[in-house]
Structure 1
Amino acid sequence: MTMDDPDELRAWLIALRTPGLGPGGLREQLDAAGGDIRAALAQLRRDAARLDEPAQAWLARPDEARLDADLAWLAVPGHRLLRCTEADFPPQLEHIPQPPAVLFVVGDAGLLLYPQVAIVGARGASAVGLTHARAFALALAEAGFAITSGMADGIDGAAHVAALDAGAKTLAVVGTGADRVYPRKHHALARRLAAQGALVSEFPPGTPARPDHFPRRNRIIAGLALGTLVVEAGLRSGSLITARLAAEQGREVFALPGSIHHPLARGCHRLIRDGARLVESAAEIVETLTPAARMLGGDLAARLEAAGGGEAAALSRIAGDGGVACGLDGTDGSAGYRRLLTELGHEPTALDELVRRTGQSAAALSSMLLMLELEARVTSLPGNRYQRLPGT
């Protein structure tokens, strides 16, 4: 069975859209079925009498038009359903309450494997706050961290744009389907994120913005990131929810202090009183998160090794002294990496084409390309394409 088997994808989509099941219920079914989604769905249907009427009706007769639309969306290059049963599902999400069962991704799903820092804050941020968000995003990106946020107005958008303008890695976790843009003014930003970074959602395509979706979105932002930086926040800001979730998940929380007269400093001051780290420079964040970045690399390597990934030894060295990759030397002696470089050639090549040329899964290739990119032997391009760098 290939990763893109439409029958398997259809089974996932039916399960995901079952009313009332949720990620926790789906993961329970998967655990009982040994990770086999078809077996999990079959058992779910056998137990349908225990479910409420909407779930029973859906399982008995799914909306085929809706499923066909989902499959058509997933068939678009650069669109992916990243499942918790796959080796490159972000391991850091396994340690949060109610971990998602899947992530719908537009763009480069490999960014989810990088050490990340979340930068969040007020939608109606001040000019000074926006300047701080851009400066911290740029400095952290230069240190090797991917910048994660929620594509909201204000601090979120400023952090994303700063990373994109610098050609750095950034991803947005959204509270709608990955095919929707919220707020609407961010259509241009969403296009840039899809081309140069990634848009991520646990919600199926077509899901509109709803108030209860954003706290759920925030737990994924906090869960993906090794640490969360709050730049500006009022006392009732949703950013404080992200910070609280990060703290509950055992992640670092950082906050910028501000004037005692500024209402958007009060949320940060409360966080600092409650134990968040007061920071004045990105270097403080990099120093604090370096051990966690190393641990993330080890977790990812163990996950891939358990799945039989030959790239595990190299991935164990994802995080180096600056919170980024140190000298990776595990690729030179690997026949798999040598073949990948040969098949890649010196022209921009799409990931789907590399899957066809090498016969390897997209998950395995994404991990190997990540290692080659960290070694400065390959560069990623818009449209989920890759190219060898001169001299390699």
Structure 2
Amino acid sequence: MPVADKARTRAWLRLIHTPGLGPRRIARLIAQFGSAETAVAAAPRGWAHAGLEPGRSGEPPAADAQGVEQDLRWLEAPAHHLVCLGEDDYPPLLAPLDGAPAALFVAGDPALLWHAQVAVVGSRNPTAGGRDNAADFAGELARAGLVVTSGLAAGIDAAAHAAALDAGGATIAVMGTGPDQVYPAANRRLAARIAAEGALVSEYPTGTGVRREHFPQRNRIVVGLSLGTLVVEAALQSGALISARLAAEAGREVFALPGSIHNPLARGCHRLLREGATLVESAQEILTAVAGPARELGQKLRQRLDSAGPDPAKPPASILDPAYQRLMEALGHDPVPMERLVERTGLTVDALSSMLLVLELEGRVAAIHGRYARSGS
């Protein structure tokens, strides 16, 4: 790690490990002083502006030096990152939320935090049908180019993560523990696969074990990263309903699957539907609902990548897929309707809709009043 990066990282970790400094206070310090290094240097007097009063000695509470060093050692490993509020890599959908995490520990690909995501959540003890539904929806969403985000819990979460990876897509697991502490232990193999093919994310420092209050806090990150949240199965008192409420409060889409009136795990979903959640029976309905916001996020990502310069070593995955090549050959510079693309490619409407969304996010296709053409940009 370069010296400048290490100084910046150490300053952030000192803030994170200082007792009494939560996400809101750290955000105020960064807003006032412009950087973590400057904020740390401004102690003790400057810290009073963040609501942290000096103690009797006139000094602010000392950071946990051992915790800082432990985190630094973790960050020295390959594919381990610290993504900090106010910096370029911080996810744009999460940043505006009240109480957004000051920093995120990431094992895997931090670039996925910028990609269009849909959260899939539900019961830790689902029915067989609920587990299958979670896997089916997650697989379809992943094949359409969206990142599937969940909380690494047993049940629906694990099924969604695994299905997204099996579909050749990406998934983000937001942890309620430190990034080096997998819970439940039964998901360790899954967590290792997610770190290799997606991203494990936590706001908690290394060594943080299981604490009940951390899991509702984790839920705000799951839904804050996502354009919408799908609740597959949930009891009337469940963490999934907390996630749905947080998503609605953040102005994000909430989707729910209906179920049998005799299934207690359907009652939470039915409550959400009565309260205004969108009833969905296919992943395509979710894709249609989030297509607009996904395009906007894709444009922001392209602008960011353009400002950083292209990376020719990483061409879009669709360039290598024969089905996408067939679709691009069927597209011209004059907009054509969906039915014409079905005729030209022999692909189904569902398949074309998913592929066109991916191409829009890559900036290769433009959607114009329900018609599609090659992008002129």
Q: TM-score range by the shorter chain?
A: 0.7 to 0.9
| Aligned counterparts of 1:55 and 1:217: Cα–Cα separation in 2 | 35
Corresponding residue number in structure 1 for 2:360: 326
Corresponding residue number in structure 2 for 1:21: 21
Question: Kindly tell me: are residues 262 and 56 of structure 1, through their superposed partners in 2, closer, same or farther at Cα, counting changes over 3 Å?
Answer: farther
Deviation at residue 20 of structure 1 after TM alignment:
1.7
Question: Kindly tell me: are residues 228 and 60 of structure 1, through their superposed partners in 2, closer, same or farther at Cα, counting changes over 3 Å?
Answer: closer
Question: Kindly tell me: are residues 283 and 3 of structure 1, through their superposed partners in 2, closer, same or farther at Cα, counting changes over 3 Å?
Answer: farther
| Aligned counterparts of 1:57 and 1:73: Cα–Cα separation in 2 | 32
When normalised by structure 1's length, the TM-score is 0.76
One-letter amino acid of the structure 2 residue matched with residue 205 of structure 1: T
Superimposed CA distance per residue, residues 339-374 of structure 1 (whole angstroms, 9 cap, x where no aligned partner): xxxxxxxxxxxxxxxxxxxxxxxxxxxxxxxxxxxx
Listed as ranges, the matches of 1:188-227 within 5 Å are 188-227=189-228
| Aligned counterparts of 2:58 and 2:113: Cα–Cα separation in 1 | 35
In structure 2, runs of 5+ residues without a counterpart are: 312-317, 319-352, 365-377
Superimposed CA distance per residue, residues 162-221 of structure 1 (whole angstroms, 9 cap, x where no aligned partner): 112222100100111111111111111111111111100111111112111111111111
Superimposed CA distance per residue, residues 20-41 of structure 1 (whole angstroms, 9 cap, x where no aligned partner): 211111111101112x211111
Deviation at residue 311 of structure 1 after TM alignment:
5.6
Listed as ranges, the matches of 1:89-238 within 5 Å are 89-238=90-239
Question: Kindly tell me: are residues 302 and 164 of structure 1, through their superposed partners in 2, closer, same or farther at Cα, counting changes over 3 Å?
Answer: closer
| Aligned counterparts of 1:92 and 1:277: Cα–Cα separation in 2 | 21
| Aligned counterparts of 2:28 and 2:200: Cα–Cα separation in 1 | 27
1:8 aligns with 2:8: yes
Highest relative contact order (Cα 8 Å, sep 6+), 1 or 2?
A: 1
| Aligned counterparts of 2:295 and 2:165: Cα–Cα separation in 1 | 25
Corresponding residue number in structure 2 for 1:333: none
- SS at 2:358 equivalent: coil
Deviation at residue 77 of structure 1 after TM alignment:
0.5
Superimposed CA distance per residue, residues 273-298 of structure 1 (whole angstroms, 9 cap, x where no aligned partner): 00000000001000111001012123
Identity %: 51
Listed as ranges, the matches of 1:223-372 within 5 Å are 223-301=224-302, 308-310=307-309, 322-326=356-360, 328=362
In structure 1, runs of 5+ residues without a counterpart are: 313-317, 331-392
| Aligned counterparts of 2:132 and 2:58: Cα–Cα separation in 1 | 52
Q: Decide whether the 8 Å contact of 1:125 with 1:264 is kept in 2.
A: yes
Over the residues paired in the alignment, what is the CA RMSD in angstroms? 2.9
Listed as ranges, the matches of 1:43-82 within 5 Å are 43-47=42-46, 51=52, 59=60, 61-82=62-83
One-letter amino acid of the structure 2 residue matched with residue 45 of structure 1: P
Task: State the structure with more CA Rg.
Answer: 2
| Aligned counterparts of 2:258 and 2:304: Cα–Cα separation in 1 | 38
When normalised by structure 2's length, the TM-score is 0.79
| Aligned counterparts of 2:108 and 2:55: Cα–Cα separation in 1 | 33
Q: Decide whether the 8 Å contact of 1:103 with 1:200 is kept in 2.
A: yes
Q: Decide whether the 8 Å contact of 1:20 with 1:55 is kept in 2.
A: no
- SS at 2:212 equivalent: coil
Residues matched between the structures, number? 324
Corresponding residue number in structure 1 for 2:334: none
